[in-house]
Amino acid sequence: MGHSLFCFLGLFSLNTILCGNAEGEKVKATVKANTEIMPAGGSVTLTCDVNHFADLEYDWFRQTSKNSEKTTVAGESDRVLVTSEAGFYTCRGRVKDSDPIIIHETVPIKPTLTLQPSWTQIYSGETVTVRCEIQGGEGAQWTYEWRRNKLNTPPTSNEYRIIRATKSDSGGYSCRGRRDYFLTEWSDIITLTVSSSKPRATLTAQSSVIPAGGSVTLSCSVEGSAGWKFDWFRRDSVSSKTQLMRGNEANRVISVSQGGLYHCRGGRGDPVYYTEDSSDVTIMEIVPSKPTVTLQPSWTQIYSGETVTVRCEIQGGEGAQWTYEWKPAKLNTPPTSNEYRITVTESDSGGYSCRGRRDYFFTEWSDIITLTVSYKPKAKLRADNTAVPVGGSVTLTCSVNPSSSSSSSSGWKYYWYRAEKSSEALTTQDAVFHSNGQISVSQEGLYRCRGGRGNPVYYTEDSQSVRIGKTVTVSNRPVVTLYPNWSEIYRGETITVRCEIHGGDTEWDYEWETNSRIKAPNQNEYRIRSASSSNSGNYRCKGRMKSSQHKTTEWSDSVTLTVSDNKPRPVLTVSPSWLSPGASVTLNCEVEHPSAGWSFYWYKAVPDLSEKSSSYELLPDGSGTAQDSYIIHGQTHTAGYVCRAGRGDPEYHTDHSQPKFVWSADVHSATSLTVSPDRVQHFTSDSVSLTCEGNFTEWRVRKFSEDGRLYSDCRRMTGSTCNINTSKSDTAVYWCESGSGEFSSAVNITVQNDGNGPILVSPVHPVTEGASVSLSCSLRTQKILSNVFFYHNDKLIQNDPRGELKISAVSKSDEGFYKCQYSGRESAQSWMSVKGADSSSSPVWLIVGLVCGVSLIIILLLLLYRCRRTNSAANEQTLNQAEDQQQVYSSLLHGDRCVYETVRRCENTENGPAEGDYTNVTSVIQLKVINKTRQRGDPEESSDYNNVNPNSASALT
């Protein structure tokens, strides 16, 4: 058949068996595979090549294992074989089989790689085991393949123990399993990091000092701290050795209550791998002993250049070897001494404290002792007289600041000298020495002194020299006067204290003596500008002749000046507080004592709705009046007033008084106030509406309550209406103020506090003479009552079974207080005001004018006489009622009864006005007063009246 060729391929390589042809040429068959590992569910392509031979037919053989029989792959004769079965494959070109090639199949199993211990961050020298685990393949005989390659010798073990790891062991690790012709997948990579530097433990302390009876928390940590346990070490004294306090502690935090030098370390693994020791931490324990700082000498006030010793003393710790720590720290060099001797400067001022230290124990800090260092002092010399009286002596007093310190407590001794340059101290032959820094001398001369204390002696500067001569007292006696002559003034006022010496044309030098904190200069007068309480005191003076310094006057009598810190506020009263339109109103302004020298300023309160306050408008001729009263003629409407006082040059002003109001019930003002329901009295929790009316866009409702408080705004204001859900505190006088400064008439509102009692239903506004009016009594649960008793000025006037009091034609005599009684319970009483008929609404006034014009003089005389009698009676009756009723509004004085009665008679006379009627003249006079032009002053002054609390009694007088 010619030549036969046979080639065999070995496992994992192309080992070739060579054959020869007829010419002796060597040939070989080669099997190649596109991959040696068949993926799960995939295939491998095999190619059979024979050198120098083409168009051969190929036989393919397969073995399923090394020991199995070779079988022919049926139907495969091509050079290329595609197979999906694992096994040993050979090919033949008619001569000999090829070398085998092994094809592995990957099974869908993924091993898991673990570290034991499980720390990916380890340190050089630690031991770690790398383990490959195949889940679900435990019964099979696996061999293992690793990446990193150095682990593949031999490639059979499923774990490797790395003893004393090095930096070269760092990297990623993965593994897979092999069994026959099957391979698992590669495991996930686990990265191992080996640090070449040995770690150091870190020790931190919550505090470096353990308080007495307390403890401190210590924390030990290692970077990358997984798996660490901790050893704790302590040294309890400087001379002792460090000892293990606690070992193999899983807790990295401990609490200690003893002082000492502490450190820690970490350890982990088997065998145990230890970190470097931590740095030492010193923990000081405070023992319950408190030192004392003393000064020697014991003067806390010392002077630059003096020497003082600061000493730290520990009671009960004398036998211990203490070192000392000081505050300020500049004394801590070296920090061992318990005392320091200091020649002080100003920089040594401050607080000093100390504590003791022994091994790891502290005492508590001592209390602070404060050292005050001042500039070198100068002695002060004072003589009770500069001239020796005949046969007498002069007392000299030497002192060193602070003058309040006694000689014994400050340590000063005093040295006395006579003559300008003498350095020899006086002896007992020259003076009489006293124990308190005083001497008595009877010789003329120039004296000076100085103080000294300590060891070595520290001397003050010499005092100023005082010349002592023989004194002649002249007969002139000075007098101290105050200008202005007010012994009591207020902070901020200006006053002059003057020393006056009468007799002759002698020129004088002046000397003052005062116990005030501010000393007067040696001049004949002392002008105190903007006085304060430090100027209060007694002032006296004396004079010394300029031509002969030994001739002096006696001391004057003392004058006492008192300066009050409280700025005065005047008190304003108005009378009457309720007025009849056109009546006169008297304002009185009183300044608290002293009241000398005051002039008064009078203002009208002008509402300012935008600022929720009022401004002050100076009244005509109301600037600086000498009188403390001011009369306003022809007042017709509700108005508020304020006063203040001023005196002196420059003028000193008091605060403004609290505002006081004059209320009018006149309904013909530019603004008006209506009440719904229209009655004075109301039950608790009634809904009452107060509506402001007039040609204005802005309003506020104000009230003056029973307790004397003034309220500026309604809490529930809707447009021009104030809505009230009544309570007892709503009993008050109410009025409206417009945005242009107009006041309405005022009304009384009374709230019944007795829930079961009746109220009197009476009109809010005055009733016009001649009109009819009906008064009734009402309960909260019943509006119409019968068998009601009505009282007028506390006199029973009607027991009407209908429960209603009707007056068909009201007269001025019907004015007064009314109340009702039902079933033994009385209502509160309310004032019903009666006003004269409106002159502009009746043609009767034409007749009145004619008749009154004919008999002008006679009518005026009759009218004056009648008015005087009637008004006197009416006022007396009203005031008596006020005292009896004790009501807030009991001082109401409504109108000129004479005028209104005259009007009524004129209107009701068919044949013309009655004799003596001259109401038209009265109206003309009132009109002139109302239209009088007023000047506006102090426009810048304003005040918020919110929550003003004036004295209610004076406000309603």
Q: What is the pLDDT of residues 672-700, one digit of tens each?
A: 889 999 999 999 999 999 999 888 888 88
Strand order in the sheet with 380-383: 380-383, 394-399, 438-441, 432-433
> 868: which 2 tokens?
């005087």
pLDDT score, position 504: 65
- Residue indicated by tokens 């020796």: 388
- What pLDDT, on a 0 to 100 scale, did the predictor assign at position 202? 95
| Mean per-residue pLDDT, 554-581 | 89
Q: Measuring CA to CA, which residue among 572, 913, 609 is closest to residue 737?
A: 609
Got the DSSP string for 295-344? EES--SEEETT-EEEEEEE-TT-TTS--EEEEESGGG-SSTT-SEEEEE-
Give the Å distances, CA to CA, from 924 to 634, 722, 850, 930. Answer: 11, 37, 15, 10
Q: State mean pLDDT over 538-566.
A: 87
Tokens of 47: 């190619």
Answer for the pair 43, 50: CB distance below 8 angstroms, yes or no: no
Read off the pLDDT of residues 83-115 as tens digits, 9 standing for 90 and up.
Answer: 888 888 888 877 555 677 888 888 888 999 999
pLDDT at 900 over 90: no
Q: How far apart are CA 872 and CA 595, in angstroms?
A: 34
Residue-level length of the chain: 957
Q: If you average pLDDT over each of 536-550, 617-631, 891-905, which comes out highest?
A: 617-631
Q: Cα(196)–Cα(402) distance, rounded to whole angstroms?
A: 74
What pLDDT, on a 0 to 100 scale, did the predictor assign at position 498?
A: 94
Between vectors from CA 181 to CA 177 and to CA 186, what angle results, nearest 5°?
30
Q: Mind listing the pLDDT tens digit for each residue in 342-355?
A: 888 888 888 999 99
Structural contact between residues 639 and 658, judged by C-beta atoms closer than 8 angstroms: no
Taking the model in full, what pTM does it have? 0.43
Residue 879 contacts residue 872 (beta carbons within 8 Å): no
The answer to whether 195 and 223 are in contact (CB under 8 A) is: no
Contact 799, 786 (CB under 8 A): no
Contact of 820 with 775, CB cutoff 8 Å: yes
Asked if residue 642 lies in contact with residue 586, where contact means CB atoms within 8 angstroms, the answer is no
**Is the confidence at residue 922, as pLDDT, over 90?**
no
The count of C-alpha atoms lying within 13 angstroms of the C-alpha of 877, restricted to the half-sphere facing its C-beta, is 16
Widest distance between CA atoms in the chain:
186
**Strand ordering across the sheet containing 759-761:** 759-761, 773-778, 804-807
Torsion of CA 255, 259, 260, 261, to 10 degrees: 60
Q: What is the pLDDT of residue 935?
A: 36
Q: What six digits make up the tokens of 123? A: 């340190």
Residue 863 has pLDDT above 80, yes or no: no
Q: Are 51 and 69 in contact (CB under 8 A)?
A: no
Query: Has residue 443 got a pLDDT over 80?
Result: yes
Angle, to 10 degrees, between the axis of helix 897-908 and the axis of helix 856-885? 120
696 CB neighbour count, 10 Å cutoff: 18
Over residues 53-92, the pLDDT tens digits come to 777 888 888 888 878 888 888 778 788 888 888 888 888 8
Is residue 332 pLDDT above 80, yes or no?
no
Between 377 and 897, the more confident residue is 377
Residue 894 has, within 13 A of its CA and on its CB side, a CA count of 27
Cβ neighbour number for residue 906 with a 10 Å cutoff: 26
Residue 942, pLDDT > 60, answer no
Q: Is the pLDDT of residue 144 over 60?
A: yes
Task: Give the model's confidence band at 527: pLDDT under 50 very low, under 70 low, under 90 confident, else very high.
Answer: very high
Between CA 673 and CA 675 the distance in angstroms is 7
